[in-house]
Protein backbone atom coordinates (compact mmCIF):
# COMPACT_ATOMS: atom_id res chain seq x y z
CA UNK A 1 0.00 0.00 0.00
CA UNK A 2 2.91 2.31 0.66
CA UNK A 3 4.67 1.41 -2.53
CA UNK A 4 3.51 3.01 -5.71
CA UNK A 5 4.11 1.36 -9.02
CA UNK A 6 6.64 3.21 -11.08
CA UNK A 7 5.42 4.25 -14.45
CA UNK A 8 8.62 3.24 -16.12
CA UNK A 9 7.41 2.85 -19.62
CA UNK A 10 5.69 6.14 -19.70
CA UNK A 11 8.73 8.22 -18.88
CA UNK A 12 11.45 5.86 -19.98
CA UNK A 13 13.45 7.11 -22.92
CA UNK A 14 15.65 4.30 -24.24
CA UNK A 15 17.52 6.48 -26.68
CA UNK A 16 18.66 8.69 -23.86
CA UNK A 17 20.38 5.72 -22.27
CA UNK A 18 21.58 4.30 -25.58
CA UNK A 19 19.41 1.29 -25.14
CA UNK A 20 17.64 -0.75 -27.75
CA UNK A 21 14.73 -3.08 -27.76
CA UNK A 22 15.82 -6.51 -26.60
CA UNK A 23 16.13 -8.81 -29.57
CA UNK A 24 15.54 -11.84 -27.40
CA UNK A 25 12.07 -10.94 -26.23
CA UNK A 26 11.32 -7.97 -28.48
CA UNK A 27 10.82 -5.71 -25.53
CA UNK A 28 8.32 -7.81 -23.66
CA UNK A 29 10.83 -9.04 -21.08
CA UNK A 30 9.38 -12.51 -21.34
CA UNK A 31 10.05 -15.58 -23.37
CA UNK A 32 7.65 -18.34 -24.19
CA UNK A 33 9.13 -21.55 -22.95
CA UNK A 34 7.15 -24.33 -24.51
CA UNK A 35 4.61 -25.96 -22.25
CA UNK A 36 6.16 -24.38 -19.20
CA UNK A 37 4.57 -21.13 -20.19
CA UNK A 38 6.47 -17.91 -19.88
CA UNK A 39 9.85 -17.22 -18.36
CA UNK A 40 11.87 -14.08 -17.82
CA UNK A 41 14.14 -13.14 -20.68
CA UNK A 42 17.76 -13.79 -19.76
CA UNK A 43 19.13 -11.22 -22.16
CA UNK A 44 17.48 -8.22 -20.59
CA UNK A 45 16.49 -9.71 -17.25
CA UNK A 46 12.85 -9.03 -17.93
CA UNK A 47 13.43 -5.35 -18.57
CA UNK A 48 12.74 -5.50 -22.28
CA UNK A 49 15.61 -3.21 -23.16
CA UNK A 50 19.32 -3.81 -23.45
CA UNK A 51 22.26 -1.46 -23.78
CA UNK A 52 23.48 -1.06 -27.32
CA UNK A 53 27.03 -1.99 -26.44
CA UNK A 54 25.96 -5.19 -24.77
CA UNK A 55 23.74 -6.08 -27.66
CA UNK A 56 26.60 -5.57 -30.04
CA UNK A 57 28.89 -7.68 -27.92
CA UNK A 58 26.45 -10.52 -28.05
CA UNK A 59 25.96 -10.10 -31.73
CA UNK A 60 29.67 -10.10 -32.47
CA UNK A 61 30.88 -12.44 -29.80
ZN1 LIG B 1 14.68 -9.57 -23.39
Expressed in angstroms and rounded, the spacing between residue 44 Cα and the centre of ligand 1 is 4
Expressed in angstroms and rounded, the spacing between residue 30 Cα and the centre of ligand 1 is 6
Average pLDDT over residues 8-20: 78
Q: What is the band of 8 on the pLDDT scale with cuts at 50, 70, 90?
A: low
Q: What is the pLDDT of residue 21?
A: 92
Q: What is the pLDDT of residue 5?
A: 60
Q: List, for residues 18-53, the tens digit of each pLDDT value.
A: 899 999 999 999 998 888 799 999 999 999 999 987
- Domain ranges across the chain: 17-60
Long-range contacts of 18-22 (CB under 8 A, 24+ apart): 18/51, 18/52, 18/53, 19/49, 19/50, 19/51, 19/52, 20/49, 20/50, 20/51, 20/52, 20/55, 21/48, 21/49, 22/47, 22/48, 22/49, 22/50, 22/55
Amino acid sequence: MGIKKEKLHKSFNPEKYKMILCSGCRGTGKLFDGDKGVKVCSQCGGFGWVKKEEAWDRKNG
